[in-house]
Amino acid sequence: MITQTKDIDKELLTGLETSHYTRRIRSHYLAYGTKYDFCKFFLVRDKDGDKGIISLFNSSMVASVFSGKSFSNEDITELSIFVNMTKPFTVELDLRYAEKLYELLKDDYRRFSRIEFEFRCKSGLPDINVNETPRLDDVFDILKTSFPIIRQTKDLWITDTSHRVRRGLSQSFTLGNYTSATIQYIIDDIAFVGHVATIPSERGKHHARELLYWIGEKLNADGFKVRLYARSYNVSYYTEIGFEPVNSDIVLEAKDVEENS
């Protein structure tokens, strides 16, 4: 059974197993709590009690289980019904459940494989001109050239990112006026990097590589582990920068969503 709940707090969330999905859910709660319609939380439970938590944040769904618990085949069926009702653009959960869920949703969802990488500190901070406090409008102007979904939701992206920045959950960086990267959450001393982009006229000049290396060295020196996800065919690109694969999973994406360029 899946039921919406507002009876959620930090203590409950610490009971979830340690994972990227749990950190995503916690970041949603720490940023917004339970008072907004665009950020909802649901409990997955059966006769023996609570099994896991789902966050539904705008067009994304993330699910995680409590430590010592697991989703049964019946729970996966319930999740597929939930997805068909709520129609999120993306669905993220542990690989051991995502594969089963995909089989129930493949008429409407595609899947893509991705690798989780962690930066390994190498030889010190490079001397490049990185802006650690850029205007979010400037970040958006770079991102919109690579992410169609963000391009269509400027006000939403800026409002959400600024909200997270004020709460110490997020930070954006730019290199010149052509490359940007954003820390999407900082939870448990892990800084998760997403939305890396370079404007078309500057692509192929290694700007993103330089910025990611700088971020990795800077945040490692500040005591954070730096992680990101990338498509599986980009393994060599990230290992050359200094990232090492630590995990893999799949993401389910609605088939009617325009793919990123």
Would you say 24 and 169 are in contact if contact means Cβ atoms under 8 Å apart?
A: no
Q: Give residues with Cβ within 8 angstroms of 244, minimum separation 6.
A: 117, 118, 119, 120
Query: What is the pLDDT averaged over residues 234-243?
Result: 92
Closest CA relative to residue 179, chosen from 230, 221, 219, 145: 145
Domain extent listing, the chain:
2-107, 117-254
CATH of 117-254, one of 3.10.580.10, 3.40.50.280, 3.40.50.300, 3.40.630.30: 3.40.630.30
Percent of all residues in the chain with a pLDDT value above 70, rounded to a whole number: 98
With cut-offs at 50, 70 and 90, classify the pLDDT of residue 261.
very low
- On whether the CB atoms of residues 155 and 247 are closer than 8 A, the answer is no
| Domain spanning 2-107, CATH class | alpha beta
Domains 2-107 and 117-254 share a fold: yes
Which residues, including other chains, have CB under 8 Å from residue 182's CB and lie 6 or more apart? 139, 143, 161, 170, 171, 172, 173, 193, 194, 195
To 5 degrees, how large is the angle CA 200–CA 183–CA 148?
40
φ and ψ at 182, to 5 degrees? -130, 130
One-character DSSP codes across 119-152 = E---S------EESS--HHHHHHHHTTT-HHHHT
pLDDT, tens digit (0-9, with 9 covering 90-100), for 59-113: 899 999 999 999 999 999 999 999 999 999 999 999 999 999 999 999 999 999 9
Secondary structure (3-state) at 256: coil
123 vs 70: CA distance, rounded Å: 42
Q: Kindly indicate the confidence band of residue 259, based on its pLDDT and cuts at 50, 70 and 90.
A: very low
